[in-house]
Amino acid sequence: MSSSAHQSPTPPGVTAATTAHDHGSKSRIAPEEIAVGVVVGRASEYFDFFVFGIAAVLVFPHVFFPFADSLHGLLYAFAIFSLAFISRPFGTALFMNAQRRWGRSVKLTAALFVLGTATAGMAFLPGYSVLGDRAIWLLAFFRLVQGIGFGGSWDGLPSLLAMNAPPQRRGWYSMMGQLGAPIGFIIAASLFLFLHWSLESDDFLTWGWRYPFYVAFAVNVVALFARLRLVVTHEYTEMLEEGQLEPISTREMVRSQGYNIFLGAFAALASYALFHLVTVFPLSWIALQNSQDLNNVLIVQLCGAAIAIVCTVISGRIADRIGRRTTLGLFAIFIGVFALFAPFLMGGGSTRQDIFILVGFALLGLSYGQAAGTVTSNFEQRFRYTGAALTTDFAWLFGAAFAPLVALGLSSEFGLIAVSAYLLSGTVCTLLALRINKAFETRD
């Protein structure tokens, strides 16, 4: 641009102060403020999902599947657990269309209302002893709706954060959104631990387990206002428009970016495969084997989640030094090595099982902490908003949706070597995807 262009006169009616204010408004939302919105939003969503995951072990086999033995009760509960991950991409597509018609704030409010209502609706659901098979169908329905709401709750904040982070600190800011997962787990597990520990078994299975589902609606309301505070501001909208972060139809995304969506999903598969194998699966395996008190397992998992938070933060430092792609590949290899010890650790006594949980959470933090970077770095700017949402949806679907069901079902039949095989398959997929996608290397 020529110098004369820089010295063009101010348009009539626009003062220098107004111009300065307009320029200043673009930087009013700092990356740190966006990061807070990301953490709050993700923590509330993961809380909803972990409430269901923990209840699938402690509650649902007794309340909704009393006719089945312990193993099949857990497997039926895990089959319903997977439904939300199947419906999640459909929720993304549905609410992206809603955003194009009615705007971002309407979309986010409606999606979180759907998510919170489905979760709270489970709290009012009578068990099998009252409704029979209808109770199971209603539970499955609420779980499907929960996934639709979760898919629709994508606000674009992680993509915006990645684009506004300083180039030398992208790994640091990428990990911030991932902190929501261990934080959500800590809140959900703490509630269940308190109720399971303090109530008699009959009271817990009658009414106590319902309390975390009630709380989920309140948590979603708080998270909604925290996120709307950013989403409805002029500065946020302006930043999204400048970054071309607008919703694109799912059909167009799959047609023009299908390669990037699925490659990005597989690039983070090791992290997502590990996710439910250190949170939900150990609880179910130990409950089935009756090898230690479940309250003690929840305490160990709470310690593991705290370790995961620390390791997630550390992953940001590591990624800024060696690159996000290299970090993800390195810890995928560590997950593969860890997988080899799964039968020895989970098949042993309480000490070895606790080591599996704690080490697993540490690796989860180190690897999952950079999974978001693989979601955003694949796409051109105009595709990042919708592409990041769909890539995350499919990563959860391929890597984590069926992990507890497959791991428990195969382990009960063939032994814990099935857990090793599941984690190793995730490691192989991650390394192959990272190897194929050269874009990761150039954009890190």
Greater pLDDT, 247 or 414: 414
pLDDT for the residue 19: 39
Fill in the amino acid letter for 342.
Answer: A
How far is residue 33 from each of residues 36, 165, 226, 416, measured CA to CA in Å? 5, 12, 11, 44
Contact criterion met (CB below 8 Å) for 150 and 246? no
End-to-end CA distance of the chain: 30
How far is residue 372 from each of residues 52, 95, 139, 159, measured CA to CA in Å? 24, 21, 31, 9
Q: Decide if 19 is inside a domain.
A: no
Q: What percent of the chain has pLDDT over 70?
A: 84
What is the mean pLDDT of the segment spanning 434-439?
72
Dist CA 233 CA 338 (whole Å) = 45
pLDDT for the residue 316: 87
CATH code: domain of residue 89: 1.20.1250.20
Q: Decide if 13 is inside a domain.
A: no
Instruction: Dump pLDDT digits (tens) for 292-305.
Output: 999 999 999 999 99
How far is residue 205 from each of residues 64, 70, 187, 202, measured CA to CA in Å? 11, 15, 20, 5
Q: Decide if 38 is inside a domain.
A: yes
Q: Of 414, 395, 412, 392, which Cα lies nearest the Cα of 404?
A: 412
Instruction: Dump pLDDT digits (tens) for 141-177.
Output: 999 999 998 888 877 777 667 666 677 777 777 788 7
Q: Which residues contact 390 (CB under 8 A, 6 or more apart)?
A: 89, 92, 250, 253, 261
Q: Of 266, 215, 254, which Cα lies nearest the Cα of 54?
A: 215
- What does the block give as tokens for 111? 């999606």
Q: Decide if 26 is inside a domain.
A: no
Confidence of residue 18 (pLDDT cuts 50, 70, 90): very low
Per DSSP, 124 falls in state T
What is the mean pLDDT of the segment spanning 103-131?
87
Work out the mean pLDDT of the chain and round it to a whole number.
Answer: 83
Dist CA 304 CA 324 (whole Å) = 23
Q: Decide if 22 is inside a domain.
A: no
Residue 24 has pLDDT above 60, yes or no: no
Dist CA 433 CA 107 (whole Å) = 33
Residue 270 has pLDDT above 60, yes or no: yes
Q: Decide if 6 is inside a domain.
A: no
Q: Of 343, 348, 363, which Cα lies nearest the Cα of 426?
A: 363
Q: Which of 5-14, 344-353, 354-363, 393-402 has the lowest mean pLDDT?
A: 5-14
Q: Which of 37-41, 240-244, 263-267, 368-372 has the lowest mean pLDDT?
A: 240-244
Q: Which pTM value belongs to this model?
A: 0.85
φ, ψ for residue 9, nearest 5 deg: -65, 155
Q: Is residue 107 exposed (0-12), middle (13-18) or buried (19+ Cβ within 10 Å)?
A: buried
Among 31-35, 340-344, 384-388, the range of highest mean pLDDT = 340-344
Q: Which residues contact 336 (CB under 8 A, 6 or more apart)?
A: 270, 423, 424, 427, 428
Q: Decide if 20 is inside a domain.
A: no
What is the mean pLDDT of the segment spanning 212-223?
81
Instruction: Dump pLDDT digits (tens) for 323-343.
Output: 888 888 899 999 999 999 999
Dist CA 315 CA 328 (whole Å) = 9
Domain count, the chain: 1
Dist CA 247 CA 138 (whole Å) = 32
Dist CA 309 CA 290 (whole Å) = 29
- What does the block give as tokens for 321? 């030094």
Separation of CA 93 from chain center:
18
Q: Which residues contact 8 (CB under 8 A, 6 or more apart)?
A: none
What is the mean pLDDT of the segment spanning 348-355?
92
pLDDT for the residue 12: 43
Domain that holds residue 58: 31-442
pLDDT for the residue 7: 41
Q: Decide if 373 is inside a domain.
A: yes
